Amino acid sequence: MTTEKIHNRQLAFILFIIRSTVTIATLPVLTTGTAAQDAWLSAIFSLVAVLLMILLVGGLGIKFPEQTVVEYSRELLGKTGGTLIGLVFLWYFLNIAATEVRIYAELLNIVFLHRTPLIFLVSSMVLLAAVAAVLGIETIGRTADALIFFYVFFLIASLLGAIKPFNPVNLQPVLARGLKPVLSSALTPAGLAGQYLVLGLLIPALTAPRKGVAYALLAAVFSGIVLVLTTVAVIGVLGPELGNSALFPFFSMTRAIEISDYLERIEALVVIAWGFGVFINIAVFLYAGARGLSQMVKIHDYRPLIGPMAVIWVILSIHTHENLFEVKKFFEPRSFFPYSMSVVILPYLLLWVAYLLRRAGREGEKYREKRPREPE
């Protein structure tokens, strides 16, 4: 049924961008939890969580290389159960992506366009993403191909700028208060690993679905490296306290960088990279959401769904959170981690159990089929 294909490389780019954009945006390892100067350790912990998540989602995905998660969950759990799980996933896509585009709009609103209505910023971003989603996953994949160079270049340029004002004293003492604060800061980024649910819908679109997991892991490792480096740079430049209270720490850091008398204000790079990232993010989520929904209600083509979904998306991103304080609260480890885990991990565990039971059942059947011959 799927005719459009993306290369595994493009999948890796997409996943890398999705994950790193969160880093550029709010750097949750530093702004949630209490790890302060040890946040880079939390970053490593959250990387482990992401890798596990990929094994969980991707591992099941490659068992059904032709099907999306919506399809095989129906096969595994029956019609009702499968549809329910599919709905849960779709809700999660919607919620996370709506929040993400909201944060981007808030940044533009706070820093650059402080009189532009949020809805304008959000809807222009969603419109762009919707166009990409209508044109299909191939287009999104190629866009990722085209943007990744700028994305990585801007990231590296900003990080290089941090070398001069970097002060290692800010990173000490290491692990002074034990592991507990470190873990508390790792929870929200680990919860955000739920973004990799898109793997469940992207794997059937790959040219080599069985290698998808390996590419996803590679992307996660690279984005993990970016996360660790960024965290170290932000703490080294801004100090743990200011970094912790900044709304957009990476952006604040680049604002504080003065490379020389003539070369300063490199924060534009960060915002551009962030914009690219949000675009890819929303486009992929919108595609995945529409694709999933179309399979759920058995519509042959997902494209007609995108228009209405985009509208719902815009409304949700404006109305889920009253203001930025509530967005911040949404990402608090105490509430976000359990939410994310129950929405992502529980359904997947259910799917895995169903899958393993079925396989065990099949093997049992084979065994039973064989047994009568044994006496011969």
Partner 1 sequence: MLRPYGRFFLKLAAVLCLCSFFTAGCWDNREPEWTARALLLAFDLDEENMYEATIMLANPIFQGGGQDGGGGGGGQTKLPFWVHSARGHTPYEAVLNLSQRTTRMIKFSHTQILLFSEKLARAGVWPVFEFFMRNRELRLDIQTAVVDGDLKELLRSEFPLEFLPSTGINRLLRITSLERSIIPDSRLLEKIIEYTRPGEEMILARLKVLSQKNGESQGQGGQEESGQSPPGPPAEIIGAAVFRGEKLVGWFDGHETRGQNWIRNTLQTGVITVELPEKDGLAGIEIIKMQSKIEPKRSGEEIRITVELKALGRLQDLVTPPGVTPRLDPEFVQSLENRFAEAIRRDCKRALSRAQELKADIFGFGNAVYRKFPRLWEEELEARWEETFCRLAVEFLVDADLDWPGMILTPPTRG
110 part of the interface to partner 1, by CB under 8 A: yes
370 part of the interface to partner 1, by CB under 8 A: no
Tokens of 175: 């692990």
Which residues have C-beta within 8 Å of that of residue 150, sequence separation ≥ 6? 272, 273, 276
**One residue of 111, 152, 221, 229 binding partner 1 per CB under 8 A:** 111
Output the CA–CA distances (angstroms, integers) from residue 222 to 43, 50, 198, in the order listed. 12, 12, 18
**One residue of 14, 238, 282, 318 binding partner 1 per CB under 8 A:** 238
From the centroid of its chain, how far is CA 310?
Answer: 19
303 part of the interface to partner 1, by CB under 8 A: yes
User: At 151, which amino acid appears?
Assistant: Y
Pick 194 or 240: Cβ nearer partner 1: 240
Which residues have C-beta within 8 Å of that of residue 374, sequence separation ≥ 6? none
Pick 87 or 179: Cβ nearer partner 1: 179
Query: Which 157-176 positions form the footprint of partner 1 (CB under 8 A)?
Result: 165, 167, 169-170, 172-173, 176
DSSP state of 108: I
At 312 the three-state DSSP class reads: helix
Encoded one letter per residue, x for contact with partner 1 by CB under 8 A and - for no contact, window 255-284 reads xxxx-----x--------------------
Query: Which 3-32 positions form the footprint of partner 1 (CB under 8 A)?
Result: 3-4
Pick 11 or 257: Cβ nearer partner 1: 257
Pick 189 or 240: Cβ nearer partner 1: 240
Place of tokens 């208060």: 177
Among 45-53, 111-119, 179-187, 278-286, the segment contacting partner 1 (CB under 8 A): 111-119
Among 18-26, 151-159, 179-187, 234-242, the segment contacting partner 1 (CB under 8 A): 234-242
**One residue of 241, 326, 363, 365 binding partner 1 per CB under 8 A:** 241
Pick 115 or 373: Cβ nearer partner 1: 115
Which residues have C-beta within 8 Å of that of residue 93, sequence separation ≥ 6? 197, 198, 285, 288, 289, 292
242 part of the interface to partner 1, by CB under 8 A: yes
Sign of CA dihedral 309, 319, 332, 337: negative
Which residues have C-beta within 8 Å of that of residue 308, sequence separation ≥ 6? none
Tokens of 278: 């949000």
Task: Quote the CA–CA distance of 183 and 34 in Å, as a whole number.
Answer: 9
CB of 256 to partner 1, least distance (A): 5
Pick 242 or 341: Cβ nearer partner 1: 242
Pick 307 or 364: Cβ nearer partner 1: 307
Pick 145 or 264: Cβ nearer partner 1: 264
**One residue of 1, 79, 80, 114 binding partner 1 per CB under 8 A:** 114
Output the CA–CA distances (angstroms, integers) from residue 58 to 93, 211, 269, 279, in the order listed. 17, 10, 33, 23
Residue from 126, 131, 288 nearest 205 by CA: 288
177 part of the interface to partner 1, by CB under 8 A: yes
Q: What are phi and psi of 264, to 5 degrees?
A: -145, -175
CB of 264 to partner 1, least distance (A): 7
From the centroid of its chain, how far is CA 286?
Answer: 13
DSSP state of 373: G
Task: Quote the CA–CA distance of 67 and 64 in Å, as a whole number.
Answer: 5
Pick 59 or 165: Cβ nearer partner 1: 165
Total residues contacting partner 1 (rule CB under 8 A)? 31
Residues forming the site for partner 1 (CB under 8 A): 3-4, 110-111, 114-115, 131, 134-136, 165, 167, 169-170, 172-173, 176-177, 237-239, 241-242, 245, 255-258, 264, 301, 303
